[in-house]
Amino acid sequence: MAEELRIANKHLPAQRRSLSQLLAMEYPHVVLRDGTIHFFRRRELLELRKYVTEEEADRLMLPIVIVVRPDLGEGVAVVQDEVAARVVAKILGVEPRYPLYVYRPQIAKLRELFDTVIQLAILPTLGEERYEGGL
């Protein structure tokens, strides 16, 4: 199972960068676990910047990883990063919580608005584990 998850999640970043760092780059990008490059649309980064303070822009690491949690029910996912949870809650117009649980329709809205900023990780059971950049 671990090998299958590693393959299914190869699209996740090896390292993430802050919104501020990405906005300062000519071609905003991160390197993925499989060695490919993921580019961010500048217009999405600029739109996202409207939802955050200066401090949050320095602390918000991108892409925002939303962990799909089938063990919690069909279509349930979790934003485990505290800063990202506040920002996602603001975008969705919901009360900020940590961790923030989101559902399929909310994920679809996020992907529609911020396709290059949001990435989904697949984790069948989580227990006390968290996504910390490596599955």
pLDDT score of 2:
62
Q: Is the pLDDT at 120 greater than 70, yes or no?
A: yes
Q: pTM for this structure? A: 0.85
pLDDT of residue 11: 80
- The segment with the largest mean pLDDT, out of 4-8, 31-35, 71-75, 90-94, is 90-94
Q: What is the reported pLDDT for 134?
A: 43
Cα of 77 vs its chain's centroid, Å: 11
What is the percentage of the chain residues whose pLDDT exceeds 70? 84
Question: What distance in Å separates the CA atoms of residue 46 and residue 81, rounded to the nearest whole number?
Answer: 21
Residue among 82, 75, 77 at smallest CA distance from 97: 82
Annotated domain spans of the chain: 2-122
Q: What does the pLDDT average to over 78-93?
A: 97
- Per-residue pLDDT tens digits for 9-53: 778 999 999 999 999 999 999 999 999 999 999 999 999 999 999
Amino acid at 72: L
Please state the φ and ψ torsions of residue 68, each to the nearest 5 degrees. -75, 130
Which range has the worst mean pLDDT, 23-27, 81-85, 92-96, 122-126?
122-126
